[in-house]
Structure 1
Amino acid sequence: MTTKLLKLTRATGLFAALLAQAVPAAAQMPEFKRIPAPVDAAAIPLYAGQAPGSETRTEPEVWDMMSGNRVVRNVGRPTITPVLPAAGKASGAAVVIVPGGGFKFLSMDGEGWPIARWLADHGIAAFVLKYRPNETPGDEATFTQKMIADFMKAMSDPNATLPLNEPLATADTLQAIKLVREGAAKWQIDPARVGLIGFSAGAVATLEAATASPVAARPNFFGYIYGPMAAAAAVPADAPPMFVAIAMDDSLFGKQGFGIVESWRAAKRPVELHAYEKGDHGFGLGKPGTTTMMMMPEFNAWLDARGLLRPAK
């Protein structure tokens, strides 16, 4: 899958991506406040030793509170954290969760742990992926200033195309799939039922992983939640089934049409689309008062209809 067509075509889109999923594009710049890193004793490193491609990184990992949402930046040691169903409830399916954040940070409260708990409560083994976004200034004030500068630069050429991808995020997503399959027996997982669900920038990483080579490295299915909707490049003839969800008033991708869906249809690959009237960008588990609250139940129903929620043997 090429990333050339997965681009934002308006400068305001870059601004919204940098603001991340916790706030709409039109909101003012949120405040980033440093917080202690949460203790995650269950986290499993994706790589033994230094992660390939992180050799030149210099900034330490940073956790911030942003609009009541914990976010993490400058991840150099990517991990997955298992969140498993209660004893006797496992369906055998597994989903790796790929949070968004414009490849500047990861929205862990908005699109990470709550999603995992929902899946585990419904018998699906969940794994929260803390992948590597782009490196950013460690100091919050400098980070915010850089975001504003990037926005103003983009605004100077409103017709510029702006890439929204990060190869390290894709590499970490593929590595997470590999580790989950390797631990299938330990986690009561069927290695042929390991999928992804990605949000915004995380959706881009899931799309790249779903079309990667070799075929055996891909997920068996994936959820593409309010990612770029413009037409994708040629879809492999054996691409995995895709579940797509977006709000029609999405301030970032809501006016791009449904090219990504049509590309799957043209390749004669299974795809399901849920387009909600309201919800804007970054609704996560759902925005109260809108039908986006049905997104996770509908994703679960889609998995069930595809026979992916058979009880583990």
Structure 2
Amino acid sequence: MEVLLEGIVGSVGGVVARSVAYPFDTLKVQLATGSIGLGDLVKRILREEGVLGFYRGLLPFSAFEAAYQKGLFVLVFTAVKRLYAQRARRDPAVLATVCFGYLSDLVSVPFTVPFEALVVRLQSASVHDSKMDIIRESLCTRAGIRRALVSGNAYFVLSLKPGIEFAIFDHLKYKTLKSSGRTDLSSGTALLLGGSARAIATICVYPYARCKALTQSQQAPSALAALQKVLSDEGGLALYRGLSMEICRGATQSAVMFAVIERLRSAVEALVLGQANGRS
């Protein structure tokens, strides 16, 4: 039951965080798949679509994908960590936690990558493109599903990011609570630790993340092909185009997510403890 509650808490945290950081996500995708600068991109979106252009694809697809993916990830990640702790009679080390996070993320990929690929196509499409045609082709045709699953091969590398992120957060959380003598993190501390963990994890895998975005926007047949194309046409530094926006987006999203998760977890624990005391 506790593991299921962790999954629900992760799902809620994922949706709230995705909603807060979504404009950064839209800018990151269009910077990674386009050739214009940030200032010109912001002006173009405001001119053609207004403020709502920054939220294209959020409802219902991206919000659903965030809830489903993060809930499943947190559920599996928590279950594996607890199983390890029971068998080994100690908490997992940082490297083991990275491996657990990596495997937990891979479990969710086949179920969530079609929606993620759809959102990337909606974000990178021209304002004049038919959104219904993109949705139909992405989710209702074999070719669309096949392309999404092919782009999902990139997660054999990219799933390291949540593994690194959650391992760093858990390690920093443990050190912080140990030094402060507290039993839970404040919202501000969770924001800081979550954002820091995400920034470090993002820097580690960003070049491949950009190549995955190029694949999902149908500018390359695979992440590896996109990597080779960017290196040959634009050089190594081009692999980091959009990195600053991704760090802003990712750090904001993870900071909010971890803060929400920590607050909800504390509230649930207090509720359960209160009910237990009431029975006794």
In the superposition, the TM-score normalised over structure 2's length comes to 0.31
| Greater Rg by CA | 2
Structure with more helix by fraction: 2
In the superposition, the TM-score normalised over structure 1's length comes to 0.29
